[in-house]
Amino acid sequence: MVQVMETWFLADRNSLKRYFDAEFRENALKQWPQLEDVPKATVLNALERATANCATRYAKGKVSFELLAQVDPARVEAACPHAKALLNRLRTLALLP
């Protein structure tokens, strides 16, 4: 199961690059084979390092919710099996298209 919602951001690095400026350091984010197994502290530290030189740095709150609204659910589903199960369940309840 996912440790923290920011894991979903790592599944859609294009959204991260679009949201943060040209100073975003994607190389600070590893290519974890099982994103949902990455510990919370590791995910948050990686986002902090990746955005350290950006005009807007990663932070819980406004930034995290703005990013959540921009991630591509298809990318998250492809990388995170538990997120896929959640989204499928919401679709069966007619809460998602």
pLDDT at 96 (0 to 100): 65
pLDDT at 38 (0 to 100): 95
pLDDT at 30 (0 to 100): 95
- CA-nearest of 29, 34, 43 to 79 is 34
pLDDT in tens, 19-49: 998 899 999 999 999 999 999 999 999 999 9
Examine the pLDDT at 90 and tell me if it is beyond 90.
Answer: no
**Residue 97 to residues 29, 40, 46, 55, 78, Cα–Cα distance (Å):** 31, 29, 32, 35, 17
Per-residue pLDDT band for 58 (boundaries 50, 70, 90) equals very high
pLDDT at 97 (0 to 100): 65
Examine the pLDDT at 67 and tell me if it is beyond 80.
Answer: yes
- Per the CB < 8 A criterion, the answer to whether 9 and 59 are in contact is no
pLDDT at 65 (0 to 100): 94
The residue extents of the domains of the chain are 6-92
Query: pTM score, two decimals?
Result: 0.87
Mean pLDDT for the chain overall: 92
